A = this chain, B = another copy of it.
């Protein structure tokens, strides 16, 4: 299977290393920063940081507000942080010009949709992301605004839930007491990693050495389509590999889209992961809009469609000095109210300030594990990096649960180093935390929960049955 670690086809983005001593860079814009140490990223205190490229970027970029106006003399440390965050943003906007920091995106989106009458009280969110666990950071932020959301996730973001899935979600929507109207907000974002050095597809997962890939499914689909050729990958709709339904359907949707867009066999060989992700976004957005056309009655319901690409821009190692940042590059933001469609421009709204972003992101719903825990969940800890970065505000993120918190991992590594010193050379390593047998034997059931059976496997066919299929361009249809 092609879900291999990415070998990015593009070189790293302007990886000019800049060494700065992080301690004592002055005070930050962060809410409640009283201690100078709090101006620094938690990962960087008292250490020398190797910051990725502050060289001029090849991407087009609006001048940053503080460059444009520059009336206020700011301490040197803050200038450095602002420049660094702008550079991190440029790495992303080079590929995705509409990209905003995820918190900034979420706050503007909430304001914009509220102007059209959508709130968590009166709307259900239908959220379509990749199945990858790293997408949960965005999912949780959406849930915080719109409440627990109906999940339409698929590999690479492909929509396999179909009309039944969409209808099921819509049937759970709140109903407005006055108008009897329902409101739906559809979110759909395939994802990609572009790391702090600008490498496409590479991501470093907590506790796992080496580089992993996001999105592995899109990378795998691209590799497969390249290998088989585009024509062979354009399967007819309605068939799938029984052991691999979603990947089969994803490849068919992407291949047919590539052919529709006029990408030939040679063009496919030249595609990089960024381009493939953009193709996936267009494919999935169109598929979503088609499913909406089949399921939503605009006379009974207002709805919004918010699509784009979720972008992870983490350090080259999960817990290295580069803050782990997340972006969203919106493509379609459409609102349909009273049957009338409005295209929404999030850039018509200002970025919220670093103080506002930090307070909103670090509230009681943010979970205890991550950068969100700068509040009560991590007493005594410096807050996460949160500052302006040109046209957007960036905030360091951490996965929303205790495990996979970069800060907690760093603490543990420091403790381990101290233990090793205390134990002296040669000690450690013997024994296991779980001796066998111990409590395990007390937990053992004498019987399996039910007898092993040989139920018909997913891919087990039946020679005595005719063939049935749905849709497609002919043949004997069967179904209900």
Contact = CB atoms under 8 A, between A and B. Distances in A.
Interface string A76-102: 000000000000000000000000000
A235 B209 CA distance: 44
Interface string A282-315: 1100110011001000000000000000000000
A172 B205 contact: yes
A445 B344 contact: yes
Interface residues of chain A: helix, strand, loop or mixed (majority): loop
A371 B459 CA distance: 43
Given A163-B244, A473-B461, A377 B364 contact: yes
Contact of A444 (B114, B134, B345): B345
A332 to B, nearest CB: 5
Contacts of A460: 237
A433 to B, nearest CB: 7
A185 B243 CA distance: 20
B479 A164 contact: no
A443 B133 contact: no
Contacts of A462: 234, 236, 472-473
A69 interface: no
Nearest to A378: B364
Interface string A123-162: 0100000011110110000011011111111110001111
Interface stretch (A7-15, A16-24, A434-442): A434-442
Interface string A233-261: 01111111111111111000100110010
Contacts of A133: 124, 147-151, 169, 172
Contacts of A178: 429
Contacts of A245: 160-162, 240, 245, 249
Contact of A434 (B117, B150, B363): B117
Contact of A115 (B149, B402, B439): B439
Q: Which of A121, A143, A154 has the most CB of B within 10 A?
A: A143
Interface string A464-480: 11111111111100111
Interface residues of A, number: 152
Q: Which of A165, A241, A245, A456 has the most CB of B within 10 A?
A: A245
A463 B471 contact: no
Q: How many copies does the complex hold?
A: 2
A465 B207 contact: no
A399 to B, nearest CB: 5
Contacts of A234: 462, 465
A461 B237 contact: yes
A470 B241 contact: yes
A209 to B, nearest CB: 6
Contact of A174 (B208, B236, B286, B401): B208
A473 B480 contact: no
23 contacts: A132-B168, A133-B148, A133-B151, A136-B149, A147-B206, A147-B401, A155-B165, A161-B246, A162-B243, A162-B246, A234-B465, A238-B242, A240-B245, A243-B291, A243-B471, A333-B449, A343-B447, A364-B367, A364-B377, A365-B401, A461-B474, A463-B474, A469-B469
Given A164-B246, A242-B470, A333-B449, 10 more contacts: A134-B172, A162-B246, A168-B217, A234-B462, A342-B443, A343-B447, A344-B443, A344-B444, A367-B367, A461-B471
